[in-house]
Amino acid sequence: MADVNPARLATGGSADRKLRVLVVDDHEVVHWGLRLMLGEQPWVERCLSARNADEAAQLAARYEPHVALVDLFVGQESGADICERLRSLSPRTNVLMISGAGRISPNAARAAGAAGFISKDWPAADIAGAVRMVGLGMTVFRPHEAPTGPPLSEREREVLEAIASGATNREIAGSLYLSPHTVKEHTSSLYRKLGVRNRAEAVQKAQRLGLIS
Query: Cα angle at 156 between 75 and 177, to 5 degrees?
Result: 145
The string of pLDDT tens digits covering residues 152-202 is 888 898 999 999 999 999 999 999 999 999 999 999 999 988 888 999 988
Q: Is the pTM of this model over 0.85?
A: no
pLDDT greater at residue 211 or residue 140? 140
Give me the domains of the chain, ranges plus CATH numbers: 6-135 (3.40.50.2300), 154-208 (1.10.10.10)
The string of pLDDT tens digits covering residues 3-43 is 444 434 433 445 578 999 999 999 888 889 999 999 999 99
d(CA 201, CA 73) in angstroms, rounded, equals 14
